[in-house]
Amino acid sequence: MTCTEFLAQMTDYFDGDVEPQLLEEIQSHLCECHHCEILVDTTRKTIRVYRDHQVYDLTDEVRERTVARIMAACTTPRA
Amino acid sequence: MPPVVEQPGVEEVHPDVALVDAARHGDTAAFEKLVRQYDRQIFRVAQHITQNREDAEDITQDVFMKAYGKLDQFQGNSKFSTWLTRIAVNESLMRLRKRKTSRTVSMDQDVQTEEGSIPRDFADWTPDPEQQYGTSELGEILQKTIAGLSPGFRTVFTLRDIENLSTEETATALGLSVPAVKSRLLRARLQLRERLSRYMKRKDGSIKP
DSSP labels, B158-202? IIIIIS---HHHHHHHHT--HHHHHHHHHHHHHHHHHHHHHHHS-
Domain B105-209 top-level CATH class: mainly alpha
Question: Residues B128-137: pLDDT tens digits?
Answer: 888 889 889 9
Domain B15-99 matches domain B105-209 at the CATH topology level: no
pLDDT at B112 (0 to 100) = 54
CB B155 within 8 A of CB B48: yes
Residues of A in contact with B64 (CB under 8 A): 70, 74
Output the average pLDDT for chain A: 92
So what's the pLDDT on residue B205?
A: 47
| Top-confidence residue, B37 or B206 | B37
Q: What is the pLDDT of residues B175-185, one digit of tens each?
A: 999 999 999 99
Sequence spans of domains, chain B: 15-99, 105-209
Listed in sequence order, the DSSP H helices in B51-79 are: 53-69
pLDDT, tens digit, 9 for 90 and up, residues B111-123: 555 555 677 777 8
Distance between B135 CA and the closest CA of chain A, angstroms: 8
Cβ neighbours around A69 below 10 Å, total: 15
Q: What's the mean pLDDT when you consider all of chain B?
A: 85
- Read off the pTM: 0.85
Range from B15-19, B101-105, B187-191 carrying the lowest mean pLDDT: B101-105
Tell me what pLDDT residue B5 has.
Answer: 47
Residues of A with CB under 8 A from a CB of B: 7, 10-12, 15, 34-35, 38-39, 41-43, 45-47, 49-51, 53-58, 62-63, 66-67, 69-71, 73-75
| CATH number for the domain whose boundaries are B15-99 | 1.10.1740.10
Q: Which of residues 22-81 of B touch A (CB under 8 A)?
A: 28, 31-32, 35-36, 39-40, 43-44, 47-48, 53, 56-57, 60-61, 64-65, 68
Mean pLDDT of B22-43: 95
